[in-house]
Amino acid sequence: MTRELTCIGCPMGCALTVEVENNEAVSVTGNTCKIGENYARTEISAPVRAVTTTALTAEGIPVPVKTVGSVPKDKIFEVVAHIKRTTVTLPVKVGDIILDNAADTGVAVAATASMDN
Amino acid sequence: MREFELVIIGGGPAGMAAAIAAKKQGIDDLVIFERGDRLGGILNQCIHNGFGLHTFKEELTGPEYAERYAQQVYDLGIPYELGTMVLDITPDKQITVVSRQRGAETVRARAVILAMGCRERPRGALGIAGFRPQGVYTAGTAQKLVNCEGVVPGKEVVILGSGDIGLIMARRMTLEGAKVRAVVELMPYSSGLKRNIVQCLDDYGIPLMLSHTVIDIKGKEKLEGVWVAAVDEHNAPIEGTEEYFPCDTLLLSCGLIPENELSRSAGIELSPLTSGPSVDESLETTVEGVFACGNVLHVHDLVDFVSEESVRAGENAAEYIKGKPSSPGTPVAVKPGNGVRYTVPSRLYPESVTDCVHIRFRVTAPVKGAAIVVSCGGKELARKRGRIFVPSEMIEVILKKEQLAGLSGDIEVRTEEAAK
């Protein structure tokens, strides 16, 4: 089976053609770098995404956060829900971990801005 | 009256990069005026990732990218004044500013860098029928509400325009629990990046309706829904294709316009093609000693290219302050030809080029299997091939100084179809 994908590794958005057998990518063409090949392989077998959203302080001030690495695509909503249940205390620095293990993915969540209280 | 060698208007990515570059060239008497309450500009509300791949070789979020530059501003001791709004610039570089700390004040500058960014095209510029109910926002306003104020403006959303902010907000509103019914795009192609269509729409099953537009808005006090219709090749709605979408929120992502009220007051010539100042190869405007960079000059798709351009503006402003003559000799015009919408710069002075010239432009419509050709008086200066060129991606061609010797006539940038 052949699948057409658009690489999301960078803004170039290469059009990838992937030969798929038994839920595995056996060949990838159309990519201009290694990122495209890796993207196609995980996208076919177990797609993942980095998640960005906001966590709130007790006063309701949003603090921008991201997952440190990618989480399974089908866990995105659980990860966001877990982040929303977490209260952040200011001040925070960029990179401060606000959650060690988001929705049992094993992936941490970090603040992406430094904010004073 | 306070006097500065260099005043930078705007503390976003363009202003910060320009200030850092000028400071590194030895300009110590400078200041950044920023109207917001922190440095970083629009990046502070762009909490998604995808920034910095070129500059830092890693994928950062907007606030992280901003903070890396802000940290350099702090480390280099570059003065900046927050909550400070520039109201007016005169052609002789007197700048009227107002702030809570200092009230209204006029300062004088030897050189100015314009880095005010851009703004979104508002509803009034789109000509959509209907009342003016609550619930219609530009995508960037909604982004600020959600990401900076912690307020989600609605539960059922239609987005008009498939620019990147609209795509990003489709995902953002979905993650915040809203239902995004559709993204409606007038053109037969999206004006956003392909990766954003995949990871913001396809991932969440949000339909992208190309060649469609919003023809009517229902609701008087509060938005109740929108009518969407297909359009023909002249962008006119096709009768019989109307479809009603109930929604409490309509987000507009219909293009960005460089913010040039100040440039106009300074008597700077604006390009009708970019809506930004017309500049030469040093990014100097038609007013001597006033430079422009970033989205105030032309709207960029990647902040990395803003930073890179702004370094050149900062360095060139420093050279000007140190006494390099402004615009020597006769300029050569740089013009968009077939298939190209605009070029920046729009003129260049071959004599004052130190090393090379960066020409940036966009195509008018997607072209496949074409080449970009830069020529002057029948002589080909550069050729760039690509599988596909699209209007949403800015293209750059670099010409070396040697190539500019003895040119006569205009430089033209055009697309050329490949031989069949």
| pLDDT for A66 | 98
Do A59 and A20 have their domain in common?
A: no
Do A70 and A28 have their domain in common?
A: no
Banded pLDDT at B387 (limits 50, 70, 90):
confident
> How far is CA B36 from each of CA B130, B250, B264, B294, B396, rounded to the nearest angstrom?
34, 26, 22, 17, 31
Do A56 and A36 have their domain in common?
A: no
- Smallest Cα–Cα separation from B82: which of B45, B43, B37? B37
From B323's Cα to the closest Cα of chain A, the distance in A is: 40
- Smallest Cα–Cα separation from B372: which of B418, B410, B408? B418
- Smallest Cα–Cα separation from B387: which of A17, A54, A75? A17
Q: Is the pLDDT of residue B328 over 80?
A: no
From A51's Cα to the closest Cα of chain B, the distance in A is: 8
Show residues of chain B in contact with A76, CB under 8 Å: 175, 203
Average pLDDT, chain B: 95
pTM of the model as a whole: 0.94
Q: Do A66 and B61 touch (CB under 8 A)?
A: yes
Banded pLDDT at B377 (limits 50, 70, 90):
confident
Quote ipTM for the complex: 0.94
* Domain boundaries of chain B, sorted by first residue: 1-120+255-327, 122-254, 328-420
Compare CB distances from A8 to B44, B61, B195 and report the shortest one's residue: B195
Residue A90 falls within a domain, yes or no? yes
Tell the burial category of B371 from Cβ atoms under 10 Å away from its Cβ (0-12, 13-18, 19+): middle
Of B70-74, B139-143, B219-223, B346-350, the range with the lowest mean pLDDT is B346-350
From B123's Cα to the closest Cα of chain A, the distance in A is: 27
CA A1 – CA B252 distance, rounded (Å):
39
**B185 and B162 in contact (C-beta within 8 Å)?**
yes
Classify B269 as helix, strand or coil.
Answer: coil
* Chain A interface disruption, residue of B195, B198, B201, B385, most A CBs within 10 A: B195
Q: Is the pLDDT of residue B196 over 80?
A: yes
Q: Judge whether B177 is closer than 8 Å to chain A, CB to CB.
A: no
pLDDT above 70 covers a percentage of chain A that reads: 100
Do A63 and A96 have their domain in common?
A: yes
Q: Judge whether B162 is closer than 8 Å to chain A, CB to CB.
A: no
Residue A116 falls within a domain, yes or no? no
**Domain around A71:** 52-111
CA B413 – CA B341 distance, rounded (Å):
10
pLDDT above 90 covers a percentage of chain A that reads: 87
Buried-exposed string A23-53: b where 16+ CB fall within 10 A, e elsewhere: eebeebebbeeebbbebbeebbeeebbbbbb
Do A64 and A88 have their domain in common?
A: yes
Q: Is the pLDDT of residue B378 over 70?
A: yes
Residue A117 falls within a domain, yes or no? no
Q: Is the pLDDT of residue A98 over 60?
A: yes
Number of H helices, E strands in chain B: 7, 30
Show residues of chain B in contact with A51, CB under 8 Å: 175
| pLDDT for B151 | 96
Alpha carbon B320 to its chain centroid, in Å, reads: 25
Closest-CA residue of B relative to A116 is B38
- Specify the DSSP element, H or E, that contains A78: helix A76-84
Q: What is the CATH number of domain B1-120+255-327?
A: 3.50.50.60
Do A97 and A70 have their domain in common?
A: yes
Closest-CA residue of B relative to A111 is B64
pLDDT tens, position by position, B125-173: 888 888 999 999 999 999 999 999 999 999 999 999 999 999 999 999 9
Do A56 and A21 have their domain in common?
A: no
| pLDDT for B419 | 59
Q: Is the pLDDT of residue A84 over 80?
A: yes
Q: What is the CATH number of domain B122-254?
A: 3.50.50.60
Residue A41 falls within a domain, yes or no? yes
What's the structural domain count of chain A? Answer: 2
pLDDT average, residue stretch A83-107: 97
CA A111 – CA A55 distance, rounded (Å):
9
- Specify the DSSP element, H or E, that contains B376: strand B370-376
- Smallest Cα–Cα separation from A39: which of A84, A76, A3, A89? A3
Banded pLDDT at A9 (limits 50, 70, 90):
confident
pLDDT tens, position by position, A38-82: 999 999 999 999 999 999 999 999 999 999 999 999 999 999 999
Do A66 and A99 have their domain in common?
A: yes
Q: Judge whether A66 is closer than 8 Å to chain B, CB to CB.
A: yes
Q: Judge whether A44 is closer than 8 Å to chain B, CB to CB.
A: no
